[in-house]
Amino acid sequence: MPQQLTLSSLPLFPLNTVLFPDGELALHVFEVRYLDMVRKCHQAGAPFGVVALSSGSEVRKAGAPQEQLYATGTLASITELQSPQPGLINLRCKGGDRFQITQQRLLNHGLWIADVLILPADQQVSVPPELLVCSELLANALQSLRERTPENAVHITPTAGQLNDCAWVSNRWCELLPMPVELKQRLMTLDNPIARLELVSDVLEKTGISR
């Protein structure tokens, strides 16, 4: 059995959203606890961890209860960093491996760090015939986004291989669909990409998107 990869003192960025592997994420960073962290990660070419909040706020407020984090998150690699003015950094990140938090600590200045176990990547499984409609609808949705928002710097043009991969198709739908964070978190942590796509198919049907 291959040895499992672990990371120590991984800086965390808790958000009211879920980052999926291969997903794109734009962030506007202005809190002191994150400004230095993202600069150091960018300079070192190192990832940070994106974790969803189970309770609490993204922005720290005096007297507010401490944030509560889900135990599974996703590594984020910085692909673009801009600082249009002092005290503000705009980031674009790409989702990498999922991880499980084994120990977490809150530093004095409010930054969370954690020791994590890197989880196995989703197996590449072809989309079964009964779920191919999910791939077709996703291709149409992404094409529509490219046409309606040409000014958006993040556009996905899927390959045939990606549209035939259960994990890739289900992950992109999870990002697009207006689902509660709790549901997105549950879908992200599933280790069976076919089961994830089946659940996505149910959501598409319930929302009237699926024909």
Instruction: Please indicate, yes or no, if residue 211 is contained in any of the structural domains.
Output: no
The 10s digit of each residue's pLDDT in 44-69 is 999 999 999 999 888 877 777 788 99
From 99, 118, 137, the end of a domain falls on 118
* Whether 104 and 10 share a structural domain: yes
Instruction: Please indicate, yes or no, if residue 123 is contained in any of the structural domains.
Output: no
Instruction: Please indicate, yes or no, if residue 42 is contained in any of the structural domains.
Output: yes
Q: What is the pLDDT of residue 154?
A: 55
From 118, 152, 183, the end of a domain falls on 118
Listed in sequence order, the residues at least 6 apart from 33 whose beta carbon sits closer than 8 Å to its beta carbon are: 60, 109, 110, 111
Instruction: Please indicate, yes or no, if residue 43 is contained in any of the structural domains.
Output: yes
Domain with residue 161: its CATH number is 1.10.4060.10
Question: Domain residues for 17?
Answer: 6-118
The 10s digit of each residue's pLDDT in 160-188 is 999 999 999 999 999 999 999 999 999 99
Domain with residue 65: its CATH number is 2.30.130.40
**Binning pLDDT at 50, 70 and 90, where does residue 1 land?**
very low
* Whether 45 and 91 share a structural domain: yes
